[in-house]
């Protein structure tokens, strides 16, 4: 049944309590930072059913309870907008997918080259990398009939081709190793750093992991006494038969792998020779590590050329197709001055755009406007304050463009009813 024809008896229209089960989130939210949570996210990441499309007449014909369920379903739809591929994310996905797949097929014991994905906060780095990794894991499991090809005979170890780990906010090499072991549920109490590194190596091998994603890697602060520990940790992880994917904000300037410059000819970031405090006891090894990474950029949309404007408008059209507002015009987000307005409000950052649209749709439903206009969106403030898993000090929260200036309220005119206007001209002598 096409969702455009679903009426009050459609997916959101039943009167049974179970009708809401298909779009409400699970009682226990998925946690990608553990193996079971990652697996369940991978299997269900595209399962959120959108609300059917109703006309205003269909909405009015429904019972109050059915309308309430439908409004709830619409809110769930707007809160779970599908992640769309952009020209920038497509370029990143090609590099990451190629590197993971190529390294997984290598037989040689040589060090596997890694990938670093750099970009500002809320630009879709994590979701892009996780989607690529999920597609690889599905391909790898199917290729090996859901079994771990490296498992020892007679064992049934957890098979986890991909491990996703978020670097702790107060990150050190030791706490990062503990976060990796937490993904597998491995014990690590009272271990020293060398013991943790050895245990991490054993866990990655035992569970058949081919790609290790370290998100928010720039939370690892480079202090003088920890420089060697950080470089040693990265070098140790790269020495295993896994593809190391580092995701972070401002990686070239973080000091993690020293300041770098972009080489347009090779399409890679180049690291200069280490000097000063970035010199380690074995600097040649550190340089070798740096040269084994491709550093790729995931930036926001731009609005300078015709091609960039077309890409932005195409992205808005994809979002518009997912919205469920009763009075939405066919080109609500893509006509008149709306594309320019949305770009000014978000600087082309997809995460900020999603937040603005989500909050705007909620207000449009609550107010009965049932459409997005610049006037309605002017009243929506984008706020990313008090995010529990974001570290503003690491650049993970982007600068939000200032809201449009409000038209100043006109002063109420003074009551002149009792003013003395003087003697009328007709009565003057």
Q: What angle do CA 284, 200, 254 make, to 5 degrees?
A: 50
φ and ψ at 168, to 5 degrees?
A: -60, 150
What is the chain's Cα-based Rg? 27
Q: Are residues 107 and 117 in the same domain?
A: yes
Residue 282 lies in a domain: yes
Q: If you write DSSP's letter for every residue of 56-73 in order, what string do you get?
A: HHHHHHS-HHHHHHHHHH
Residues 293 and 280: their CA atoms lie apart, in Å, by 19
Q: Are residues 340 and 253 in the same domain?
A: no
Residues 184 and 182: their CA atoms lie apart, in Å, by 5
Paired with 117 in beta bridges are 247, 296
Model confidence band, residue 237 (pLDDT cutoffs 50, 70, 90): confident
Residue 228 lies in a domain: yes
The range of the structural domain enclosing residue 236 comes to 87-297
Residue 416 pLDDT > 60, yes or no? Answer: no
Q: With the CA atoms of 251, 132, 143 and 292 taken in that order, what torsion angle do they form, in degrees rounded to the nearest 10?
A: -20
- 251 neighbors 257 (Cβ within 8 angstroms): yes
Residue 4 lies in a domain: no
Q: Which residue has the higher pLDDT, 47 or 292?
A: 47
Count of the separate structural domains present in the chain: 2
Q: Which residue has the higher pLDDT, 257 or 189?
A: 189
Q: Which residue has the higher pLDDT, 226 or 363?
A: 363
| pTM exceeding the 0.85 threshold for the entire prediction | no
Q: Are residues 136 and 159 in the same domain?
A: yes
pLDDT digits (tens, 9 = 90+) for 118-133: 999 899 999 999 999 9
Residue 412 pLDDT > 60, yes or no? Answer: no
Residues 208 and 242: their CA atoms lie apart, in Å, by 9
Model confidence band, residue 281 (pLDDT cutoffs 50, 70, 90): very low
Residue 14 lies in a domain: no
Residues 160 and 177: their CA atoms lie apart, in Å, by 17
Residue 236 lies in a domain: yes
Residue 308 pLDDT > 80, yes or no? Answer: yes
What pLDDT, on a 0 to 100 scale, did the predictor assign at position 419? 52
What pLDDT, on a 0 to 100 scale, did the predictor assign at position 48? 84
Domain C-terminal end among 278, 297, 316 = 297
What pLDDT, on a 0 to 100 scale, did the predictor assign at position 407? 42
Q: If you write DSSP's letter for every residue of 279-312 in order, what string do you get?
A: --TTHHHHHHHHHTEEEEE------SSHHHHHHH
Q: Are residues 133 and 146 in the same domain?
A: yes
Name the least confident of 95-104, 240-249, 391-400. 391-400
- 125 neighbors 117 (Cβ within 8 angstroms): yes
Q: Are residues 154 and 235 in the same domain?
A: yes
Provide the angle, in degrees to the nearest 10, between the axes of the packed helices 125-143 and 35-44.
90
Q: If you write DSSP's letter for every residue of 16-31 in order, what string do you get?
A: SGGGGTTTSPPSS---
In 3D, which of 415, 313, 413, 325 has the Cα closest to residue 377? 325
Find where tokens 């790729």 sit.
Answer: 296
Q: Are residues 120 and 225 in the same domain?
A: yes
Residue 402 lies in a domain: no
Pairing between strand 261-263 and 268-270? antiparallel
Model confidence band, residue 186 (pLDDT cutoffs 50, 70, 90): very high
Give the three-class secondary structure for 5: helix
Q: Are residues 185 and 256 in the same domain?
A: yes
Q: Which residues contact 97 (CB under 8 A, 6 or more apart)?
A: 132, 135, 136
pLDDT digits (tens, 9 = 90+) for 22-66: 788 777 778 999 999 999 999 999 988 899 999 999 999 999 999
The CATH number of whichever domain residue 225 belongs to comes to 3.40.50.300
Q: Are residues 282 and 309 in the same domain?
A: no
Residue 412 lies in a domain: no
Q: Which two tokens stand for residue 119?
A: 């970009």
Q: Which residue has the higher pLDDT, 90 or 222?
A: 90
What pLDDT, on a 0 to 100 scale, did the predictor assign at position 241? 85
Q: Are residues 147 and 209 in the same domain?
A: yes
Model confidence band, residue 417 (pLDDT cutoffs 50, 70, 90): very low
Residue 253 pLDDT > 80, yes or no? Answer: no
**What is the distance, to the nearest Å, from the Cα of residue 177 to the centroid of all Cα atoms in its chain?**
23
């Amino acid at each position: 049944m096409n969702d455009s024809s679903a009426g009050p008896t459609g997916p959101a229209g039943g009167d049974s309590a179970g009708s809401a089960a298909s779009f409400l989130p699970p009682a226990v939210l998925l946690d990608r930072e553990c193996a079971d949570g990652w697996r369940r996210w991978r299997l269900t990441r595209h399962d959120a059913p959108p609300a059917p499309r109703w006309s205003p007449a269909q909405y009015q014909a429904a019972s109050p309870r059915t309308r309430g369920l439908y409004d709830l379903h619409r809110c769930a739809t707007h809160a779970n907008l599908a992640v769309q591929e952009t020209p920038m994310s497509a370029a990143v996905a090609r590099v990451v997918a190629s590197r993971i797949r190529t390294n997984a097929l290598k037989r040689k014991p040589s060090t596997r080259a890694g990938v670093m994905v750099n970009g500002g906060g809320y630009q879709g780095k994590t979701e892009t990398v996780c989607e690529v990794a999920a597609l690889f894991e599905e391909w790898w499991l199917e290729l090996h009939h859901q079994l771990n090809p490296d498992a020892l005979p007679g064992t049934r170890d957890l098979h986890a081709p991909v491990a996703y780990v978020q670097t702790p906010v107060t990150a050190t090499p030791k706490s990062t190793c503990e976060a990796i072991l937490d993904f597998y549920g491995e014990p690590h109490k009272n271990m020293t750093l060398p013991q943790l590194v050895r245990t991490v190596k054993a866990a990655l091998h035992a569970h058949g992991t081919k790609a290790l994603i370290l998100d928010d890697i720039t939370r690892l602060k480079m202090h003088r006494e920890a420089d060697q520990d950080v470089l040693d940790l990265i070098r140790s992880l790269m020495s295993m038969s896994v593809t190391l994917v580092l995701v972070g904000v401002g990686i070239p300037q973080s000091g993690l792998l020293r300041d770098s410059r972009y080489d347009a000819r090779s399409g890679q970031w180049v690291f200069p020779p280490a000097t000063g405090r970035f010199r380690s006891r074995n600097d040649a090894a550190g340089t070798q590590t740096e040269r084994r990474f491709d550093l790729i950029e995931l930036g926001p949309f731009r609005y300078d050329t015709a091609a960039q404007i077309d890409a932005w408008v195409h992205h808005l059209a994809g979002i518009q197709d997912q919205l469920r507002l009763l009075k939405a015009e066919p080109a609500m987000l893509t006509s008149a001055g709306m594309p320019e307005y949305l770009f000014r409000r978000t600087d082309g950052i997809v995460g900020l755009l999603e937040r603005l649209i989500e909050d705007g749709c909620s207000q449009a439903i609550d107010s009965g406007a049932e459409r997005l206009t610049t006037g309605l969106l002017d009243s929506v403030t984008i706020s990313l304050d008090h995010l529990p898993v974001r570290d503003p000090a690491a650049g993970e929260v982007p600068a939000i463009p200032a809201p449009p200036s409000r038209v100043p309220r006109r002063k109420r005119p003074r009551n002149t009813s009792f003013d003395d206007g003087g003697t009328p001209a007709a009565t003057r002598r």
